[in-house]
Amino acid sequence: MPHGLGELYGLVDEILGASQLRVTRWAVGMHADRWIDAYLDHLRVERALGPRTLEAYSGDLARFVTLLESAGSSVQSADTRAMHAVLVKLGAAGLSARSQARFLSSLRGFYRYLVQERLLEKSPLDLVDAPRLSRKLPSLLTQPEIMRLLDAPDPKEPRGIRDSAMLFTMYSAGLRVSEVVDLQLGDVDLRAGFVAAFGKGRKRRLVPIGEPAREAITAYLAQVRGHWAKPNESRLFVTQRGRGMTRQAFWKALKRHGRVAGIAKNITPHMLRHSFATHLLQGGADLRVVQTLLGHTDIGTTQIYTHVTADHLRDMHRRYHPRGE
């Protein structure tokens, strides 16, 4: 046992010196966990982000903390050099430039929040540039392919009637797959010809649907949903078990109908949304109108479809102009 304050202080210093790294690391981890939890709460409450988006942010931030620790840094002490080290590790792990850019975007939002809340003085990402990305044109279906796809479901089977209504709704309104499967009964006004879609950030937008989509939904409601849906099920599109459709179930149905339609492309739900936007622009729709229908906050996101339309115009000129070749 130590005798006197001097000996006691010496013993305390020795203990703290031996465990300083462990104590510091524990404290840093506690700070990071609390800050991440607070940021995710902010995204959920203030920005109304959905569970899947929050899960993606949480995964990015957890991976970030691990990478920082392996680089000998932390959320609080990270500087530009540490951030570059993280990006190098991501590249070495095989993450594409596009995935790195998305990861970096998650981190920017996190550090912006910490600065706004005065938990940090500045962001270590201020001098870090995002990886250069090549502009990838969206894959889409031609109008004849769309027509074949819409005709693929069997109108004599309940499942075919439901799938037809879903395909017509998705293409007619340019909805995301999550927006289609999350549609509630009250979100569809067949008399006025509108659906209310809730996009990213739970932002609501009204999108018109054409007569073919209205007829397909009316047939589904009259012939199928009343027999399948559970009494307390509020979602528009349901499975034979009476519950709402999932994204995975719709994806499988789309693949099946794509094969029936003889479409060789690797068809995805988002291709219908891309096709909706491109076909509107090809028909002469204003870019701002398409932006509103898609629910894009930034028109720059919508402008990528103008490249697709330019390709279409060039093809039409080459095919039909006397000197197009």
Residue 302 and residue 294: Cα distance in Å, rounded?
8
In the set 162, 214, 273, 279, the catalytic residue is: 273
Q: Helix, strand or coil for residue 62? A: helix
In the set 31, 200, 247, 255, the catalytic residue is: 200
CB 164 within 8 A of CB 218: no
For 206, list phi and psi in degrees, rounded to 5.
-95, 130
CA 228 to each of CA 101, 151, 225, 245: distance values in angstroms, whole numbers, following the listed order: 44, 23, 5, 12
Tell me, yes or no, if 273 is annotated catalytic.
yes
Q: Residue 179 CA to chain centroid, in angstroms?
A: 11
In the set 63, 256, 296, 312, the catalytic residue is: 296
Residue 39 and residue 19: Cα distance in Å, rounded?
30
Tell me, yes or no, if 314 is annotated catalytic.
no
CB 242 within 8 A of CB 234: no
Residues in the chain: 325
Q: Which residues pair with 208 in a beta bridge?
A: 194
Tokens encoding 48 = 């109304």
Of 313, 251, 279, 248, give the one whose Cα is nearest residue 146: 279
Q: Residue 280 CA to chain centroid, in angstroms?
A: 23
In the set 162, 176, 214, 274, the catalytic residue is: 176
Tell me, yes or no, if 203 is annotated catalytic.
no
Q: Which residues pair with 207 in a beta bridge?
A: 195
How many helices and strands (H and E) does the chain possess?
14, 3
Q: Which residues pair with 197 in a beta bridge?
A: 205
End-to-end CA distance of the chain, in Å? 97
CB 286 within 8 A of CB 212: no
In the set 39, 111, 113, 305, the catalytic residue is: 305
Phi/psi region, residue 130 (left: phi>0; alpha: psi -120 to 50; beta: rest), is beta
In the set 44, 84, 89, 270, the catalytic residue is: 270
Tell me, yes or no, if 202 is annotated catalytic.
no
Catalytic residues: 176, 200, 270, 273, 296, 305
